[in-house]
Structure 1
């Protein structure tokens, strides 16, 4: 049996393109679609006590993740495929790599936001960190592929 394909999924067009690429390229594969809920997106910094985590913001982010993964399931149905979805809390690159190891994934597919120059230097590249740390091969989709929509 072949090992599953992991697709990292967020609300970006690049992630949608990555999912479409995986579904159209790996016909009979088992697909895991992972959304990482990064605490930095639902927390704030308090100058006195450090980092403040809002339970309401976390719950809202979890609801948004569920809706996002429903969108992924709808895309999979367009290809006649079923996917296993999951949401994990953590930093994106580390969580994707950990998930791949824990679920014996055979390949990772993800979108790249294509930042360049100073923006890429300051923010780093999640896709690059995943590619460097992943225990398996990684396909990075840089832009939407019109052929995948056909």
Structure 2
């Protein structure tokens, strides 16, 4: 039985489905929702003000996602822990899971295939490869 479950979230339907799955499948676990502000996509030309604005927007977006997640958790009678981190998404998610002693990761996947997967990669696939804990990928 998993004591702690990590659900990385963005504003996509697959990440909402992953949270729903975690709430349904792990009702007694401590569930942490993680939003990663992706710092791999520069917004300007190295301008610190631009980076700060990007980070502020990420914090605002995480608050909106956390409100949504908490409403869904409330429907299941579960309380969530919410965390915002900055960095490369897959690396940050896997590192967080390992550092915090997470037992299980449940995350959504956009199910990219072919050329899109080659060029864009898959955060879920990278997390599966980088972390030492079980990962459930929800489409």
> 1:101: which partner in 2?
98
- Counterpart contact for 1:107–1:138, Cα < 8 Å: yes
* Equivalences for residues 75-86 of structure 1 within 5 A: 75-86=72-83
1:45-81 per-position Cα deviation (integer Å, ceiling 9, x unaligned)? 53xxxx3341223212211111111111111001110
List structure 1 runs of 4+ shifted beyond 4 angstroms: none
Q: CA RMSD in A?
A: 1.5
User: Is the aligned partner of 1:64 residue 2:57?
Assistant: no
The one-character-per-residue Cα deviations of 1:84-136 (angstroms, maximum 9, x if unpaired) are 00000011100001110111100000000011110100011111000011110
Give the secondary structure class of the aligned counterpart of 1:77.
helix
Which ranges in structure 1 are unaligned for 5 or more consecutive residues?
A: 143-150
CA contact (8 A) 1:8 1:96 kept: yes
Give the alignment of 1:9-48 within 5 angstroms.
9-41=9-41, 43-46=42-45
For the residues of structure 1 that align with 2:124 and 2:65, how far apart are their CA atoms? 20
Question: TM-score, normalized by length of structure 1?
Answer: 0.86
How many correspondences in the alignment?
137
> Which blocks of at least 5 consecutive residues in structure 2 are unaligned?
none
Instruction: For 1:128 and 1:29, locate their aligned partners in 2 and report how far apart those are by CA, in whole Å.
Output: 24
Shift of 1:2: 4.9
